[in-house]
Chains A and B, each alone.
Chain A
Amino acid sequence: MSLFWRPFMLLLKKDLLLLKRRSASVVSVIFFSLLIIIIFQIGIDLGEMSPIPFAAPFIWLGSLFGGMLRMSRTFESETRGHVLEGYRLTKGIVLPLYLSKLVLNVFFMVLLQFLMFVVVVALFNIQSPLFYLKMAWLPFVLGAMGFSAVGTTFSGMVLGDSSKDLLLPVIAYPILSPLLIGVIKSFEYAASGDVLSLNPAWISLLIAFDLIYISVSILVFNILLESQ
């Protein structure tokens, strides 16, 4: 098992260090996401309506755009020095490499969603944020996993393309549609607007999406790596 864990932990540690070194790019992604939410909030007048049903769509609106920017930079450190080619001389690297990138992207997406949540709570004056978070964490984490699975794999797929920043959203968004709809539709609201419960059918869809895309990604990632 150390054949997996040692390289996995090393790659994750190295990526965290590089993320810390390039914290400016992380901050700019977060500001971009915040800006989207703020612009939409300014343009929408909820009147007497409860803001709670709007929270999940707004959090995901910001996370979607910011998250895609992050996904496109998944292999940035490896592409600069042609490190991916060097990795290929090492046996058993594929699984630790893919999973270390996936874990870091999931971590980033969860963090981004939490920040978006804090901003949405403040902008819409949501009265019971902890109760909402208690309900929302499951679809949000499942959403982050599915989004990152697709984003990480597709980021590897478009790596050699000069217009990868444009290509990634074009090919990833249609595939992500069921996931995005699933996250938003997971909530069932009371007449007052409060979250009543989570819809098990949509949660099942999110779990199935995550399992399928993580499994398929692990299977095809070796081919992607060889094609670089």
Chain B
Amino acid sequence: MSPDFPRLEAKKVTQSYGYRCILNELDLVLHGGEVTALMGSNGAGKTTLMKVLCGLIKPRSGEVALFQAESFSLFTQEGYLFDDLTVEENLNFYRQFFNVSEESLEEMKESFALENLWNMPIRHLSLGQKTRTALARTFLMPASFYFLDEPFGALDQVSHENLLKVIKHLRQEGRHILIATHLMERAQGLFNRILYLEKGKIRE
């Protein structure tokens, strides 16, 4: 593992909703150049953990430290897309917002087969099409860590294979991709590590 790769360290992270403890003094280290699977039952706290790691939720206690890293990009089912704008308008907005080149946008358009959806408003897309657009938005953002929350569920076989290609490419570039999923069989051989989140703790 290259020492220049980004690293994320979570130490004794605790988060709770009301009396329910979701993350209980959790310790975790993520290295660049790896793909990690995050597994756990429904409500185990996978999404909460991802949001804590990328700073969207402040933990009750503990800390998350970054080394050699720029930023995070997060994919969730919400998509972070504007319903009334087309796929092109959404992705172009984010391209300019993240200050990335038009070539990157073209790559994402091709990778997620968005050509035919290009001029369609988000509100007219199916769940799978919306997921592809949201994934393109996620990967358009330059980041050291990519957190993907259940990305495989709504994708067809071709889109699924395209997503795996993008993930492998990012891994080669030294990025870390953390994927929360129940569908392990759809990504056989992809993961460097498999983590289980149970009772607020990580088990490897």
Extra A-B contacts (14), CB below 8 Å, given A81-B81, A83-B81: A14-B85, A17-B89, A18-B85, A21-B84, A22-B84, A80-B82, A81-B83, A82-B80, A83-B80, A88-B56, A89-B55, A89-B56, A89-B141, A91-B71
Interface residues on B, range: 20 to 34
* Residue A86 at the chain B interface, CB threshold 8 Å: yes
* A:84-106 near B, CB below 8 Å: 85-86, 88-91
> Which one of B4-12, B19-27, B61-69, B91-99 contacts A?
B91-99
Q: Given the known inter-chain contacts A6-B99, A10-B97, please indicate yes or no for A18 contacting B76, CB distance below 8 A.
A: no
CA distance A88 to B141 in the complex (A): 13
How distant is B48 from chain A, measured CB to nearest CB, in Å? Answer: 13
A89 to B143, CA, bound (A): 10
Question: Of all chain B residues, which has the CB nearest A15?
Answer: B82
Asked if B179 is an interface residue, CB under 8 A from chain A, the answer is: no
Which of A6, A10, A14 touches B82 (beta carbons < 8 Å)?
A: A14
Q: Is B111's CB within 8 Å of the partner chain A?
A: no
Binary contact track B71-112/A, C-beta < 8 Å → 1, others 0: 111101011111111000100010011110000000000000
Residues of chain A within 8 A of B72, CB atoms compared? 89
Given A81-B122, A89-B72, A89-B73, A10-B96 contact (CB < 8 Å) = yes
Instruction: Note all chain A residues with C-beta closer than 8 A to B81.
Output: 81, 83
Chain B interface, >50% SS class: loop
Chain A minimum-CB-distance residue to B82: A77
State the A residues within 8 Å of B (CB). Answer: 6-7, 10, 14, 17-18, 21-22, 77, 80-83, 85-86, 88-91, 226
- A sample of 11 cross-chain residue pairs with beta-carbon separation below 8 angstroms, ordered by A number, consists of A6-B96, A17-B85, A17-B89, A21-B85, A77-B82, A82-B79, A82-B80, A86-B74, A86-B80, A89-B56, A91-B71
Contacts of A18 in B (CB 8 A): 82, 84-85
**How long is the Cα–Cα vector from A104 to B85 in the complex, in angstroms?**
18
Contacts of B141 in A (CB 8 A): 89
B-to-A contact residues, CB < 8 Å: 54-56, 58, 71-74, 76, 78-85, 89, 93, 96-99, 122, 141
In the bound complex, CA of A22 to CA of B82 (Å): 13
Which residue of chain B lies nearest to A77 when distances are taken between CB atoms in the complex? B82
Contact flag A81-B93 (CB < 8 Å), given A18-B85, A89-B73, A89-B74: no
In Å, the complex CA distance between A14 and B83 comes to 12
Task: Given A6-B96, A10-B93, A10-B97, verify A80-B83 contact (CB < 8 Å).
Answer: yes
A86 to B138, CA, bound (A): 10
* A81/B96 contact (C-beta < 8 A), A18-B85, A89-B72 known: no
Which residues of chain A are near B55, meaning CB under 8 Å?
88-89
- Bound complex: CA A14 to CA B85 (Å): 9
CB proximity of B50 to chain A, nearest CB, Å: 11
Residue of B nearest to A2 (CB): B99
CA distance A82 to B74 in the complex (A): 12
Q: Is A89's CB under 8 angstroms from B71's CB? A: yes
Cβ 8 A contact of B80, one of A7, A10, A21, A81: A81
